[in-house]
Amino acid sequence: MRGMARIFVTRELPGPALTKLKETHETVVWPGELPPSYAELCAQAAQSDALLTLLTDRVDAELIAASPKLRVIANYAVGYDNIDVDAASAAGIPVGNTPDALTEATADLTFALLMAAARRIPEAASFARNGQWQTWEPAAFLGADVYGATIGIIGLGRIGQAVARRAAGFGMEVLTTETRDQHNLEHLLRRSDFVSIHLPLTDGTRGLIDADALALMKPTAILINTARGPIVDREALAQALHTGQIAGAALDVTSPEPLPPGDPLWQAPNLLVVPHIGSATWSARERMTEIAVENVLAGLEGRSLPCQVPQQLFD
Ligand code: DGY
């Protein structure tokens, strides 16, 4: 232990674990309902030994270069595309994330979106609530079968595998692929009734689901994205929904977030959007706080982080 450090936490977090930081270090928690601006984040980082950031905080090379005291960055997410990990590594700063804690919660949400879109649940619920429900109707709200359908899982990491386990319980045929295998990806897109994305956002996955990819999908297929918005080309998706190229899309993530009120994607039919709630269960979010806190403490104490992002190499 090197004495009291200054830690900047960019939002109050669920669960009791932040207390552990507050008791031992000068812990400044951003009080706003919205994230600190980039300028505010830079100003805070410049005086801090540790940052506990959210996926909405951009931690780039410029910020890192202007933060000479910084010894650890703990991201409150499994994804870390908001952080320039190469710049942090070059500066000798370990970056932590929160894997495992949210795997099952995100896989559950993936299935919730899949089923909601397949069975038109949001639409049917509004219909019932709005007093339009007059009788049992043989042809109302007909949707797609889930049981026995084919699901294509793009990205077979922790969350992709957890989705595959759920799909097995629904008697689904499961097709999987990693992005690099173009032939396999095309086969998956052509064959699947549901296509679900479980990739990190990288230069290689940005825009992966573009007009060409959507054109390969069945007109009855539904796209589910609980990974990162920019993996899907949103203009191409809007077009594919308008023209009936695909039957629907259910998105937990968009590009940008939030999707602005006037964005053309909002006009697309058969679109379900929820506000990035994949990991939003009490236990997942509390566990994420615990892991992020442990990452901060380990970084401050010069220990290796319990959950350090994979591609960081130090001499
Ligand atoms: C993550 O962890 O990357 C999710 O997007 C938010 O929990």
Any idea where the domains of the chain sit in the sequence? Answer: 6-101+282-300, 103-273
The total number of residues shown for the chain amounts to 315
CATH architecture for segment(s) 6-101+282-300: 3-Layer(aba) Sandwich (3.40)
5 secondary structure, DSSP code = -
**pLDDT band for position 36 (cuts 50, 70, 90):** very high
Residue 1, pLDDT > 90, answer no
- The predicted-structure confidence for 194-222, as pLDDT tens digits, reads as follows 999 999 999 999 999 999 999 999 999 99
**Average pLDDT in the 246-251 region?**
98
Separation CA 198–CA 159 (nearest Å): 6
Does 238 sit in the ligand 1 pocket, CB within 6 Å? Answer: no
Same topology for domains 6-101+282-300 and 103-273, yes or no? yes
Percent of the chain as helix, strand, coil, to the nearest 5: 35, 15, 50
CA 140 – ligand 1 centroid, Å: 36
**Average pLDDT in the 148-176 region?**
98
276 tagged catalytic: yes
CATH 3.40.50.720 fits 103-273, yes or no: yes
Residue 235, pLDDT > 70, answer yes
8 Å CB contact between 279 and 55: no
The percentage of residues in the chain with a pLDDT greater than 70, rounded to a whole number, is 99
Rounded mean pLDDT of the chain? 96
CA 79 – ligand 1 centroid, Å: 6
**Average pLDDT in the 273-282 region?**
98
253 secondary structure, DSSP code = -
- The predicted-structure confidence for 80-127, as pLDDT tens digits, reads as follows 999 999 999 999 999 999 999 999 999 999 999 999 999 999 999 999
Given 123, 173, 186, 257, which residue is catalytic?
Answer: 257
Q: Which atom of ligand 1 is nearest to the CA of 228?
A: 5
Separation CA 295–CA 306 (nearest Å): 6
Which one, of 207, 222, 226, lies nearest residue 276 by Cα?
Answer: 226
Given 11, 276, 285, 287, which residue is catalytic?
Answer: 276
**Average pLDDT in the 150-171 region?**
98
Does 102 sit in the ligand 1 pocket, CB within 6 Å? Answer: yes
Residue 315, pLDDT > 70, answer no
